[in-house]
Structure 1
């Protein structure tokens, strides 16, 4: 079984992934995969962003991240390079069979959907997500707004006809999350 676990920035994907992991699922963390691929793309990244992303002669991931949310065209150009490589790696991993959770921040229509059995979408209040982003990631207010704004249209509506979707409501308290995961797994 392959389940994509997605939701907007700071909605609780990592925590909920850990609940699925405790139930025997293998976790594919797309942020980690993308980071591994990102580190091999210095030339392409420099073509997109120029030398402004260099620190001590190396591409700085934080600088690239800051620029991504300022410039939609550059973000889409970089995503056009990285996303297919990430999807190929995911498809390779899930080919080993088993139960997988794909912890994926930006689930967009792609070839990956053909490999999914289900999608679990995490809904979380905006204020909670802002609080988490500020305290966990120490983002400035401007950075927070840019990241939230870039994801304003992120939704599961693209998949309604092709993959069954389940929702987890992540509020200020983590107590009920385990029950929600159990409820979803009982339905599958």
Structure 2
């Protein structure tokens, strides 16, 4: 992937089960350092858990969902059930954790020279997207992605198809950034 050598910070993105992690692992063998924003979000959720519990506990209880585990950590599955059904609650959650995600990611960038930000929806944090020199968009055929998602995530077919549908215009969102886009077909 010589075409990436002129860049210092890239975003590796693509639809669910397209192979973003695989591409990141290949680039890490070429001295790139990757940060996975899904994992960063998990860290941010734990670091902001008191604020999250305060913000959503009442709504969760109305639905019979416990958003706090016995050990005091956030029950991300139940929190997701609550938030992804209600766009206004999701936006509220994002306003709580995005500043922390941005801070953690900037710290990672400051500590490394060749950085990959592995993120499906980095366009939702323009402050981080603006730091990227280019976008690597990973594509794979629908059936390949479907089989990978079923095998990897063990989710019901309906839930996978819902996520696929939600990500159908992902490339268009990144094209709006005006950043160079390198498309990798990962069959």
Corresponding pairs, count: 171
TM-score by length of 1: 0.79
Q: SS at 1:108's partner residue?
A: helix
The SS at the match of 1:5 is strand
- Provide the rounded CA distance (Å) in 2 between the counterparts of 1:65 and 1:130: 21
**Residues 1:160 and 1:24: Cα distance change in structure 2 (over 3 Å):** same
- Indicate the residue corresponding to 1:17 in structure 2: 24
Query: What is the TM-score of this pair, normalised by structure 2?
Result: 0.79
Check the 8 A contact 1:66/1:143 in 2, yes or no. no
Out of 39, 60, 63, the position equivalent to 1:50 is: 60
Q: CA deviation at 1:88?
A: 2.1
**Deviation digits for residues 49-73 of structure 1, max 9, x if unmatched?**
5341344364311222344433333
Q: Whole-Å Cα distance in 2 between the matches of residues 148 and 69 of structure 1?
A: 15
| CA deviation map 1:13-66 (0-9, x unaligned) | 111100000111011111111111111222333323534134436431122234
Q: 1:161 offset after TM fit, Å?
A: 5.4
Is 1:76 aligned with 2:76? no
Equivalents in 2 of 1:63, 1:102: separation in Å?
27
Q: Is this contact kept in 2: 1:34–1:82, CA < 8 A?
A: yes
1:99 and 2:106 matched: no
**CA 1:7/1:166 → structure 2, altered by over 3 Å: closer, same or farther?**
same
Runs (4+) of structure 1 moved beyond 3 Å?
A: 54-58, 66-69, 156-162
Matched residue of 1:39: which SS? helix
Residue number in structure 2 paired with 1:147: 163
Q: Which whole-Å CA distance do the structure 2 matches of 1:64 and 1:114 have between them?
A: 29
Cα 1:131–1:45 shift into 2, 3 Å: farther
CA shift for structure 1 position 117: 0.9
